[in-house]
Amino acid sequence: MKIVQNIQQAVDAANELKKNGATLALVPTMGNLHDGHLALVREAARHADHVAVSIFVNPLQFNNQNDLKTYPRTLDADLDKLEQAGVDLVFTPLPEIMYPDGMNEHTFVFVPGLSDMLEGALRPGHFKGVTTVVTKLFNIFRPDCAMFGQKDFQQVAVLKKMVKDMAMQIKLVEVPIVRNEKGLALSSRNGLLSAEEKEKAPLIYKQMMRIRDSIVSGRRDFDALIKESRAEIDSNEGFRTDSIDIVDAESLRPVTGLTARAAVLMAVYLGTTRLIDSVSFDL
């Protein structure tokens, strides 16, 4: 496994892997890797001859500087996991490598509409940071495909539109959410939870499934469903609901009579840790 820290090294290493027509899959991450990330790596290996992974805690997508400061960083353990998983190339740049003139002077990529709604409204600038860094990674590696987890449901939608609008010749592969035995979606932020909070956290999944089952059974009073789940979550000590949305899974707009697939999106604070989750389903 080759590990590189600067952009030219990454370009050269990626080009070497792609010699003689070999294909390359990219898995962009912010590190603190868990089984969800490793599922992305396994999926990448099914789609291409070689797998590259980036580990970069991207400051441009953090609107909360304390969140950036406390984001878990476990580079040595991450590299061990990736080597065991058979990854060919790992890119571990520092912010000054990715943004040599500073973030305020860096060109950015922005997807209007999708980036400003839902999670984007709650975290201004977040998706601009995501699309900018992902575009840069795509330009560095020129991969044939890239893997993204469905836990970040809106992020996938934003990136799909970016790829389509900008005619990027890259296949985006969506990988299902990996959960623990109690339903908690695996996330790097779970490491910030206490043992007691980890036991409580599956309540989020339970409430998402309650909404899903109610809709599949025929309920269409979405505001009431959201109000009920918000009340149930917030009545439990340590929880504070940030947002619950029921949307068209493709457009992320409100569900209409033409919606074929819907999604429930949740963002909930447990203690000081903000957890996001989603579930999509056919109507």
Q: What's domain 2-175's architecture?
A: 3-Layer(aba) Sandwich (3.40)
User: What confidence score (pLDDT) does residue 236 get?
Assistant: 96
Q: Which of 37, 47, 106, 126 is catalytic?
A: 37
Using a cut of 0.75, tell me whether the model's pTM lies above it.
Answer: yes
Q: Indicate the CATH number for domain 188-282.
A: 3.30.1300.10
* Long-range interactions of 174-178: CB distance < 8 A, separation 24+: 174/148, 174/149, 174/150, 175/39, 175/40, 175/43, 175/147, 175/148, 175/149, 175/150, 176/39, 176/149, 176/150, 177/36, 177/149, 177/150, 177/151, 177/277, 177/278, 178/34, 178/35, 178/36, 178/39, 178/149
User: Known catalytic residue: 126?
Assistant: no
The ranges of the chain annotated as CATH 3.40.50.620 are: 2-175
The ranges of the chain annotated as CATH 3.30.1300.10 are: 188-282
Q: Write the DSSP symbol of residue 251.
A: T
pLDDT tens digits for the chain (283 residues)?
A: 999 999 999 999 999 999 999 999 999 999 999 999 999 999 999 999 999 999 999 999 998 888 899 899 999 999 999 999 999 999 999 999 999 999 999 999 999 999 999 999 999 999 999 999 999 999 999 999 999 999 999 999 999 999 999 999 999 999 999 999 999 999 999 989 999 999 999 999 999 999 999 999 999 999 999 999 999 999 999 999 999 999 999 999 999 999 999 999 999 999 999 999 999 999 9
